[in-house]
Every structure is written in C-alpha cells, then in structure tokens.
C-alpha cells in the first residue's frame, strides 16, 4: 500500500512541476514580447524627445 501511495505522490509532484514549467514558459514569452514592443513603440518624452517606455 505504501509503495502505491509513493508512486501516486511522485506522479502528482511531476505533473505539478510540468504544469508550473509550462506556465513559466508562457510568462517568459509574454514578457519577451512586451520587451520587444518597447523598442518599437516609444512614447514621446518630455521636451518632445522620444524616450523609452521603461525607466531603466
């Protein structure tokens, strides 16, 4: 009985880790797209100069 519970627990942990890694990949892709859009879309800064959309 204990080995069955351990195998099921291991399967649950691996499934959760796989889902978390897939979610992190999607978050990384979204951040990358936003970062690249920051180079294409630059709002005008103070004094009519064209600035960056981020502070750093």
Count Cβ neighbours within 10 Å for each residue of 20-29 and write b for 16 or more, e otherwise.
eeeeeeeeee
pLDDT tens for each residue of 17-51: 888 888 888 999 999 998 888 777 765 555 555 55
How far is it, in rounded angstroms, from Cα 29 to Cα 15? 21
Map out the domains of the chain as residue ranges: 2-40
pLDDT reading at 55 higher than 80: no
| Token pair 């351990």 in the structure block, residue | 6
pLDDT score for 30: 93
Mean per-residue pLDDT, 3-20: 88
């Amino acid at each position: 009985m204990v080995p069955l519970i351990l195998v099921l627990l291991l399967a649950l942990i691996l499934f959760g880790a796989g889902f978390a890694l897939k979610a992190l990949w999607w978050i990384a892709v979204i951040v990358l797209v936003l970062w690249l859009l920051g180079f294409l879309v630059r709002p005008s800064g103070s004094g009519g100069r064209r600035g960056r959309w981020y502070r750093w």
